[in-house]
Amino acid sequence: MSDPALLAIRGLRTWFTTRQGVVKAVDGVDLDVLPGECLGVVGESGSGKTATFLSVLGLVKPPGRIEAGQIIFGGRDLAQLPAAELRALRGRDIAITMQDALTALNPALTVGEQIVETIRAHDRGVAGPAAARARAVELLRLVGMPEPERRLGDYPHQFSGGMRQRVMITIALSCRPKLLIADEPTTALDVTIQAQVLDLIATMRRQLGMSVVLISHNLGVVAEYCDRVALMYAGQVVESGPTRAVIAAPRHPYTQGLLRSMPLLSDPDRPIRPIAGQVPDLIDLPEECRFLPRCPHAADACRHDIRLLPAGAGRWARCVRIAA
Amino acid sequence: MSPLGVVERLLQLVPVLLGISIVVFFMMALTPGDPVELMLGDARATDEQRQSLRHDMGLDRPMHERFLVFLRNAATGEFGMSFHHRRPVRQVILERLPATIELTLAALVIALVVGIGLGVLAAVRRDSWIDRLSTVTALVGVSMPGFWFGILLILLFAVTLGALPVSGRIGYEGEVPFVTGLLLVDTLVASKFASFFDALRHLLLPAVTLGLAMAALLMRVTRSAMLEALAQDYVTFAEAKGISRARILFRHALKNALIPTVTVAAIETGTLLGGNMIVETVFGWPGLGRLVVEGIFTRNYPLVQAAVLLYAVIYVLLNLCADLLYATLNPRVRS
Ligand SMILES: Nc1ncnc2c1ncn2[C@@H]1O[C@H](COP(=O)(O)OP(=O)(O)OP(=O)(O)O)[C@@H](O)[C@H]1O
Ligand SMILES: [Mg+2]
């Protein structure tokens, strides 16, 4: 973690206080996003991927709250930033595409309005409505929308899933952000459209020179598109490093298990073994390794709080066996 | 909704109105009390005079014949003579209609402004004192009988404070030429501003009384619709775009929240018409509602039948209006 990171998350804790208890959705996350890179964030459902990056944008809603940690971006701690400054930064410096484009786009407003309002919010009225509209058309054409002028007046439900995703990407990129957070951009799409959308994000990243955080369930997708990868488990990052190195020689037992549970193109006959056991309940977690109940290497040394430890060139892992 | 859909809905009016006609006719005809006796009162009329009056009013004919006459009248929009006024029913109703329309519109405006305004405020400041206060007020507003609230207002503002008039639409000196029949409009057309404010002062208490329950209802509907909208992903995404809080509230959330609110409002306007009868009676408001109440007491069959049919038509049209508004506000229904 020595390079000057674009975004550095340190010790982030985002908890949800519910009637059943405190859900520690994000519980001590350390993460860097380097300038211009694509970082893959992988983890099972509920591991805290979305909660982590909503925290970055200051968009965690009650009963959720950032309890601790720093979110350093452009020399400032976003966790301490006044609301107005954070709003000015959202959409302009850090943009997000949400998990489900159908619910993230407002059903009662035309997509044109939803794109134009973003452009106009950040250029301080320099561009009039007509200029902002022209810009929206140009952006839609850029993301591969046919007949962009006509489609500006359409509502979200009139688009296909893939086209809705493109609209959301258009909105996110409309102010040329330095960082794009793409939260599972392809989960809702068919395979061919998935590749188109991921290619679009990769192309835009090159054109704008921005960093991308690609959140995904799918280690295969991340292997193809991301320079580095971070694996999340039960609200913590358990391993991170250059994608190729991590996949070739995973250091954390969770990563190892995850890779064994995936089919390999190179060796289709290899038996697939799912990780035994279940994801822990995020309420009342004990102060010990989160993966302990499912780990084949469980030992007494794992029964206290484990931190991310350096594990080779640019690599980190949250496992006592690294230090040994 | 397509134009064809609108026509279809209007055609559906026919059986509805027929059904209502039957109910209204027989309810009135079977209610005890004889209009002839009521009209003559204590006057010492001879049997012959009674008989002649009964014949004039068509009451000497058999029930089924009277019903057919009534249906024919209804179909042509002619309802014969008002027993009491001895003038055509249509004329009597049209004279009183503007006063009722003015009162209803004023109540509607109050209900919309107060209901939607407080609903949005309560949702945005959820669980604050203002939210609790408006929730309690709304509860009181829905459950309090209109006539009682009206009397309280009269006692406070008219009797105790002497700030507002007790009844009527306008003072004698404020008469203006008839243009629309809505005094707030006609006084302005005649450039009589003193009369305008006089009419406004007369309108205030009855309009508040009439609009209270609807304001309370709209407040509840708006609040819950706003809270639901504010919890949606599209609001989070709008926030992630860095647009202003005002835009998020009034463009993103409210546009969606208005869909149920406006639908309820259009339907509830029909209920306002019913409330008119009570409010107009309490405030001596010379409108259709009070006319109907008087008509019921004097067994003025033609008048009441015509008025109830008119209410029914308006009610059904308001429902149609609600559907059209719903479709206009909701793009998913429109296409
Ligand atoms: N409003 C909330 N109230 C209570 N718990 C919540 C709330 N929002 C999220 N959580 C909890 O936080 C945890 C992390 O959620 P998050 O959405 O970040 O997971 P994720 O990794 O993005 O999963 P997915 O792959 O399904 O999107 C989950 O266990 C979830 O139950
Ligand atoms: Mg998620």
The closest ligand to the CA of A45 turns out to be: 1
DSSP string covering B170-223: S-GGG----SSS-HHHHHHHTT-HHHHHHHHHHHHHHHHHHHHHHHHHHHHHHH
CA distance A116 to A121: 9
pLDDT at B120: 95
Residues in chain A closer than 8 A to B247 (CB atoms): 117, 121
Residue nearest to atom 30 of ligand 1 (CA): A46
Q: How far, rounded to the nearest angstrom, does the alpha carbon of residue B51 sit from its chain's CA centroid?
A: 39
Specify the higher pLDDT residue, B14 or A54.
A54
CA distance A49 to A233: 9
Domain contains A201: yes
Lowest pLDDT segment from A143-152, A204-213, B69-78: B69-78
CA distance A171 to A193: 19
What is the band of B66 on the pLDDT scale with cuts at 50, 70, 90? Answer: confident
What is the band of B16 on the pLDDT scale with cuts at 50, 70, 90? Answer: confident
pLDDT tens digits for B211-233? Answer: 999 999 999 999 999 999 999 99
> Given the CA of residue A18, which atom of ligand 1 is nearest to it?
4
Asked whether residue A126 carries a pLDDT value surpassing 70, the answer given is: no
Asked whether residue A1 carries a pLDDT value surpassing 60, the answer given is: no
**Pair A182, A138 in one domain:** no
What is the band of A169 on the pLDDT scale with cuts at 50, 70, 90? Answer: very high
**Pair A11, A123 in one domain:** no
Give the range with max mean pLDDT: A51-60, B2-11, B166-175.
A51-60
pLDDT tens digits for B87-126? Answer: 888 899 999 999 999 999 999 999 999 999 999 999 999 8
Taking the CA atoms of B23, B29, B33 and B36 in sequence, report the sign of the dihedral they define. Answer: positive
Asked whether residue A310 carries a pLDDT value surpassing 80, the answer given is: yes
pLDDT at B43: 65
Domain contains A281: yes
> Given the CA of residue A54, which atom of ligand 1 is nearest to it?
18
Give the residues surrounding ligand 1 with Cβ less than 6 Å away. A 16, 18, 23, 25, 43, 45-51, 63-64, 99, 282
> Chain-wide mean pLDDT for chain B?
87
Across the interface, of B240, B331, B332, the residue whose CB is closest to A96 is B240
- B242–A98 C-beta distance less than 8 A: no
- A121–B335 C-beta distance less than 8 A: no
**Pair A24, A151 in one domain:** no
Domain contains A275: yes
- Give the list of residues 6+ apart from residue A199 with CB closer than 8 angstroms, or none: none
**Pair A163, A187 in one domain:** no
pLDDT at B12: 80
Residues in chain A closer than 8 A to B237 (CB atoms): 96, 98, 104-105, 168, 171
**Pair A273, A149 in one domain:** no
Residues in chain A closer than 8 A to B236 (CB atoms): 54, 59, 61, 98, 104
DSSP string covering A179-209: EEEEESTTTTS-HHHHHHHHHHHHHHHHHHT
- A106–B256 C-beta distance less than 8 A: yes
All residues with CB under 5 Å from ion ligand 2: A 50
**Which residue, of A117, A145, A176, is where some domain finishes?**
A176
CA angle A14, A15, A17 (to 5 degrees): 155
Residue nearest to atom 24 of ligand 1 (CA): A45
CA distance A293 to A205: 40
Domain contains A67: yes
Residue nearest to atom 25 of ligand 1 (CA): A45
Look up the domain containing B280 and give its range. 89-333
Give the range with max mean pLDDT: A54-58, B29-33, B152-156.
A54-58
pLDDT tens digits for A187-224? Answer: 878 888 888 899 999 999 999 999 999 999 888 899 99
pLDDT tens digits for B44-55? Answer: 778 888 888 888
pLDDT tens digits for B304-321? Answer: 888 988 888 888 888 888
Q: How far is the alpha carbon of A122 from chain B, nearest alpha carbon, in Å?
A: 8
Residues in chain B closer than 8 A to A90 (CB atoms): 239-242
- A98–B233 C-beta distance less than 8 A: yes
What is the band of A77 on the pLDDT scale with cuts at 50, 70, 90? Answer: very high
**Pair A181, A106 in one domain:** no
**Pair A212, A115 in one domain:** no
CA distance A17 to B177: 67
Asked whether residue B275 carries a pLDDT value surpassing 90, the answer given is: no
Domain contains B35: no
Interface check A104 vs B, CB under 8 A: yes
What is the band of B335 on the pLDDT scale with cuts at 50, 70, 90? Answer: low
DSSP-based three-state secondary structure for B285 = coil
Domain contains B140: yes
pLDDT at A273: 83
Asked whether residue B174 carries a pLDDT value surpassing 80, the answer given is: no
pLDDT at A168: 94
Indicate which CATH number applies to the domain containing A59: 3.40.50.300
Interface check A118 vs B, CB under 8 A: yes
The closest ligand to the CA of A231 turns out to be: 1
Question: What is the average pLDDT across A278-287?
Answer: 84
Given a contact cutoff of 8 angstroms between Cβ atoms, the answer to whether B248 and B239 are in contact is: yes
CA distance B302 to B311: 14
**How close is the Cα of A273 to the center of ligand 1, in Å?**
26
CB-count burial class (<10 Å; 0-12, 13-18, 19+) for A50: buried
Q: What counts of helices (H) and strands (E) characterise chain B?
A: 15, 0
Domain contains A2: no
DSSP string covering A83-142: HHHHHHHBTTTEEEE-S-HHHHS-TTS-HHHHHHHHHHHHTTT-S-HHHHHHHHHHHHHH
Among A23, A78, A77, residue whose Cα is nearest residue A51: A23
- B241–A121 C-beta distance less than 8 A: yes
Q: What is the DSSP letter of B250?
A: I
pLDDT at B102: 94
The residue count of chain A comes to: 324
CA distance A278 to B108: 58
Domain contains A245: yes
* Most A-contacting residue of B125, B237, B251 (CB-CB within 10 A), to test interface: B237
3-state secondary structure B15-76: HHHHHHHHHHHHHHHHCCCCHHHHHHCCCCCCHHHHHHHHHHCCCCCCHHHHHHHHHHHHHH
CA distance A242 to A4: 16
Specify the higher pLDDT residue, A205 or B325.
A205
Closest chain B residue to A154 measured between Cα atoms?
A: B331
- A107–B236 C-beta distance less than 8 A: no
pLDDT at A3: 59
Indicate which CATH number applies to the domain containing B146: 1.10.3720.10
Given a contact cutoff of 8 angstroms between Cβ atoms, the answer to whether A235 and A26 are in contact is: yes
- A91–B330 C-beta distance less than 8 A: no
Domain contains A33: yes
The CA–CA distances, whole Å, from B4 to B11, B320, B323 equal 11, 13, 14
**Pair A55, A167 in one domain:** no
CA distance A284 to A239: 23
Domain contains B107: yes
CA distance B134 to B115: 10
> Given the CA of residue A23, which atom of ligand 1 is nearest to it?
5
pLDDT at B147: 82
**Which residue, of A147, A176, A205, is where some domain finishes?**
A176
Q: How far is the alpha carbon of A53 from chain B, nearest alpha carbon, in Å?
A: 11
Question: What is the average pLDDT across A57-83?
Answer: 93
**Pair A77, A107 in one domain:** no
- A109–B232 C-beta distance less than 8 A: no
What is the band of A275 on the pLDDT scale with cuts at 50, 70, 90? Answer: confident
Residues in chain A closer than 8 A to B243 (CB atoms): 91, 117-118, 121
Taking the CA atoms of A103, A106, A108 and A114 in sequence, report the sign of the dihedral they define. Answer: negative
Q: How many domains does chain B have?
A: 1
> Which residue has tokens 């029930």?
B63
pLDDT at B1: 66
pTM of the model: 0.86
- B233–A109 C-beta distance less than 8 A: no
Quote the longest CA-to-CA distance of chain A: 67
Domain contains B48: no
The CA–CA distances, whole Å, from B138 to A95, B122, B285 equal 41, 11, 26
Look up the domain containing A129 and give its range. 99-176
Q: What is the DSSP letter of B86?
A: -
CA distance B212 to B326: 24
Alpha-helical segments (H) within A4-57: 49-56
- A98–B240 C-beta distance less than 8 A: yes
Among B41, B81, B38, residue whose Cα is nearest residue B58: B81
**Pair A64, A150 in one domain:** no
**Pair A69, A181 in one domain:** yes
Domain contains B54: no
**Pair A200, A218 in one domain:** yes
Q: How many domains does chain A have?
A: 2
User: Which of A27, A47, A57, A233 has the most ligand 1 atoms within 8 A of CB, as the residue to mutate?
Assistant: A47
Residues in chain B closer than 8 A to A89 (CB atoms): 242
> Chain-wide mean pLDDT for chain A?
91
Domain contains A265: yes
Quote the longest CA-to-CA distance of chain B: 87
Residues in chain B closer than 8 A to A107 (CB atoms): 234, 256, 331-332
